[in-house]
A and B are shown apart, each in its own frame.
Chain A
Amino acid sequence: MNGTGNIVALRPFPDAARLELNDQQLRTNLRRATHTIRDKRLRVVGEVDDWEALRRAGAAIKDDVLARLPELLERFEESATRAGAVVHWARDAAEACEIVTRLVTGTAAREVVKVKSMATQEIGLNEALEAAGIEATETDLAELIVQLADDTPSHILVPAIHYNRSQIRDIFRSRMPGVTDGLTDDPPALAEAARRHLRAKFLSATVGISGANFAIAETGTLVVVESEGNGRMCLTLPETLISVVGIEKILPTFSELEVFLQLLPRSSTGERMNPYTSMWTGVTPGDGPRTTHIVLVDNGRTATLADEIGRQALRCIRCSACLNVCPVYERVGGHAYGSVYPGPIGAILSPQLTSSGANSTLPYASSLCGACFDACPVRINIPEVLVHLRQKGVDAKRGKPSAERAAFVSLSWIMRDRRRYAAALRAARRGSAPLRGRGRLRRLPWPASAWTDSRDVPLPPKQTFREWWAKR
């Protein structure tokens, strides 16, 4: 069954990318932001002596989870239920939205507060709640900015990365109740305005909605990793808490967190640890919500699981490191990908979750430079999956005019600035680019050698980007 919701691009990637490329502001903001986070990440990753061992463990734990998923899901359901949570299952986005909407309506609440969550964005929950007359307030500062601006997020981690401070001030002035023209564009002043606006909501909300970064099968515990404290507010103050969780978020035992709590913060924000991590198990009398629901969502994940090469995308812990190192993402921004999952991970995850439509152009939204694999804390070989998905796409469409072909041409256009592209490649040299050199596979120095040595590397059907470029 295919996934549905906000993971389906409406336009083929080249069309969307062409539009976004006109936005100079976006590109400037994006470039500065991704480079800043990327540098911070390299610094804090460099502090960890056993980083490669942690990456290997992280990848292997996730693979083990995928192999044991049925048992672990049942175990999770049993533990969470025993701890007082109510567990629901949803086949696709529509079913997940319907379950959450029914739960909210059942409480008579007309307003809910939300923690930033990829899963709820994926299923289009805000739109569904709105249709049912329920107002959902995003409480993460960046999500709030995007919501007030009637926009969509452009980055997994910093969704409002495409706005600068004066644009944010203007959005607050015109859209945030109680904000006056006196509001300056000083970041602390803007954060203070958001604090005041949201605190009233936190203290009155009776229903909170979250996702989860991890779900522990052994104990039924959910884990949310965040920075601002808005997550803690949503998770502890309301009477009812509803958490929407992809079925791949399971970890077997609590102790597995020792790996992921090291990998995730350093990879995502470039911090040694994010300011707040919350863990809760069912209901604790006297502390936090009195009712907790967990909605386990498939939405194309089981279809992705079926593909031997593609399933590694399900290891993803949504850290966004791959976005920040991607030369294509840096130039077109998140919106061009059309799905809530942008960048390299989006290019392999969205088409697999949905398996048709404009998403099939996404595997071409890459130069295959390999920087994403190098950055990924759970060693998802994104270039390998990209090439695999291209191959699948070509096989399916042989002889027909191909949208992929158009996408490929367009990508070259995006990457035409040769100097920048060369710089991006240089930056990615530590990566594991599956590039062809004079007709045979180039052997790369460690750690990329691990890739070229141990794999039968699938190559693009006709030519690589570099070859194609050389002939231009």
Chain B
Amino acid sequence: MSSARTEILARVRAHRPASAPPVPRDYLPDVPGIDVVEVLVDRLADYRAGVHRASAATLPGVLAGLVATSSTVVAPPGLPAEWLAEVAGPVLRDFPGAPISVADLDRPGVTVVTGAAVAIAVTGTLILDAAPDQGRRVLSLVPDHHVCVIWTDQISGGVPAALARLADPSRPITLISGPSATSDIELNRVEGVHGPRRLDVVVAARS
């Protein structure tokens, strides 16, 4: 008896269409003529994420304010130390050799602060690709509160332009569009089902 693999591939080979016409690519490579920062802010607010503006200089103060009531602040290994310079309480670093346990991330009042790789303005999406300032996927998943910093020069207008900016598609990638939500009960939107209950986004300008 031949293996399932051999059999399936033989059947696919026998039954497939002879050829397909070329793919028309006349869709837009980006969304032209929009102010990507304003559109992103608008879409994030629409998802009921908290949106905050900052410059490189005011970022530490804005972040300190956002985590002021947290019991613990968690940071990925490569998050720039100066971002958290004004945070009063303890900061737990998640280092590859000494990862924070899931149980610790699950404690009440934990806030994680991460960067992001890219954002998509028209869909209000933050893309994290596990770079050192973003860390492991669980960091932005298990804690109750996620604060994400996005630089204005990381924002693209539309989906194609944003995906094209990802450095390595084989890294673990997470697209986040607003806080976790369900619409399963009579289509009422309820936030914070399993992911962080609260998402704050700091849109920061480099200068």
* Chain A residues close to B by CB (< 8 Å): 1, 29, 32-33, 36-37, 47, 49-50, 53-54, 56-57, 60-61, 63-64, 66-70, 73-74, 83, 88-91, 95, 139-142, 145, 158, 160, 164-165, 168, 187-188, 190-191, 194-195, 198-199, 202-203, 216, 219-221, 227-230, 232-233, 235-237, 247, 254-255, 257-259, 261-262, 265, 269, 271-282, 284, 286-288, 296, 298, 302-303, 305-306, 308, 311
Contact = CB atoms under 8 A, between A and B. Distances in A.
The 7 closest A-B pairs by CB, nearest first: A229-B195, A229-B194, A273-B123, A229-B180, A258-B160, A302-B11, A277-B175
A198 B180 CA distance: 15
Interface in B42-84: 43, 47
A277 B190 contact: no
Contacts of A227: 180-183, 193
Contacts of A216: 169
B120 A273 contact: yes
Contact of A66 (B17, B27, B163): B17
Interface in B161-207: 163-164, 169-188, 190, 192-195
A258 B163 contact: yes
B195 to A, nearest CB: 3
B102 A237 contact: yes
Given A188-B190, A273-B124, A276-B180, A229 B141 contact: yes
8 contacts: A158-B184, A191-B192, A227-B180, A227-B181, A229-B194, A272-B124, A278-B174, A305-B16
Contacts of A298: 4, 8, 11
A168 B184 CA distance: 10
Interface stretch (B18-26, B85-93, B108-116): B18-26
B35 interface: no
Nearest to A64: B20
A70 B6 CA distance: 11
Contact of B179 (A61, A275, A303): A275
B8 to A, nearest CB: 5
B190 to A, nearest CB: 4
Interface of B: 3-5, 7-9, 11-28, 43, 47, 96, 99, 102-103, 106, 120, 122-125, 130, 136-138, 141, 158-160, 163-164, 169-188, 190, 192-195
Contacts of A276: 174-177, 180, 195
Contact of B186 (A74, A187, A198): A187
Majority secondary structure, A binding face? helix
A36 B8 contact: no
A308 B72 CA distance: 60
Contacts of B24: 53, 56-57, 60
A289 to B, nearest CB: 11
Given A190-B190, A227-B182, 18 more contacts: A33-B186, A73-B12, A95-B4, A141-B185, A191-B185, A227-B180, A230-B193, A235-B137, A236-B136, A247-B8, A261-B163, A275-B179, A275-B181, A278-B174, A281-B169, A281-B171, A286-B136, A305-B11
Most chain B beta-carbon contacts within 10 A, residue among A61, A235, A237, A272:
A272
Most chain A beta-carbon contacts within 10 A, residue among B18, B137, B186:
B186
Contacts of A282: 170
A276 B124 CA distance: 12
Contacts of B180: 227-229, 275-276
Contacts of A279: 169, 172-174
Nearest to A307: B15
Nearest to A33: B187
Contact of B177 (A63, A67, A274, A281): A274
Nearest to A306: B15
A236 B141 contact: yes
Contacts of A50: 26-28
Contacts of A194: 193
Contacts of B13: 70
Nearest to A266: B123
Given A53-B24, A305-B16, A219 B169 contact: yes
A447 B35 CA distance: 32
A315 to B, nearest CB: 11
A63 B20 contact: yes
Given A187-B190, A190-B185, A203-B106, A302 B8 contact: yes
Contacts of B192: 191, 195
Contacts of B16: 66-70, 305
A272 B43 contact: yes
A194 to B, nearest CB: 7
Given A91-B4, A158-B184, A187-B188, A232 B195 contact: yes
A67 B15 CA distance: 9
Contacts of B187: 32-33, 36-37, 158
Contact of B99 (A271, A286, A296): A286
B196 to A, nearest CB: 8
Given A262-B159, A286-B136, A228 B182 contact: yes
Given A165-B185, A236-B138, A302-B12, A64 B23 contact: yes
B77 to A, nearest CB: 10
B175 A273 contact: yes
B137 A288 contact: yes
A349 to B, nearest CB: 16
B181 A195 contact: no
Contact of A296 (B8, B23, B28, B175): B8
B175 A141 contact: no
Contacts of A66: 16-17, 20
A436 B179 CA distance: 49
Given A33-B187, A164-B186, A228-B180, A83 B11 contact: no
